[in-house]
Amino acid sequence: MPKGDQTFGEFIRSERMAKEIGLREMARKIGASPSYLSKIERGEFSPPSEDKITTIAKLIGCDPDEMMALADRIPSELTDILRKRPAEMGRLLRSANKRDSQVLNRIADELGDEGED
């Protein structure tokens, strides 16, 4: 993830260049114009839509949820889960906030991807 105080655009640009992906190539792959992507990278435009952020994350090898957080957004899938079970998820998130990453990863592994009930 970002080094120091990098903005979303600065991070995208540095990772794109590190992966040797040209501006035009990335723009084409996310379905945007090169000038639009350039303005995002320079901070002239806000981060793009969720689907474009997810595509960018995959292209540069980053976690889509971390990219959404860097863009100051919450993935729609997570907001749907919160709306569906607000009390339980609120309690879970507040408790999780007090734990370190290792504990959270172990809990997530234990819960697995069982789907919804």
What pLDDT digit, counting tens, does each position of 4-18 carry?
A: 689 999 999 999 999
Q: How confident is the model at residue 117 (pLDDT cuts 50, 70, 90)?
A: very low
pLDDT of residue 114: 56
pLDDT of residue 1: 63
Provide the H-helix boundaries in 1-117. 8-18, 23-30, 34-41, 50-60, 64-70, 76-84, 86-96, 101-111
CB environment 58-97: b (16+ within 10 A), e (fewer): ebbebeeeebbebbebebeeeeeeeeeeeeeeeeeeeeee
Q: Using alpha carbons, select from 30, 22, 77, 23 the residue that is nearest to residue 49.
A: 30
Matching CATH number, 8-70, of 3.90.180.10, 3.90.1150.10, 1.20.1250.20, 1.10.260.40: 1.10.260.40
The model scores a pTM over 0.85:
no
Share of the chain above pLDDT 70, in %: 92
Write out the residue limits of the CATH 1.10.260.40 domain(s) in the chain.
8-70
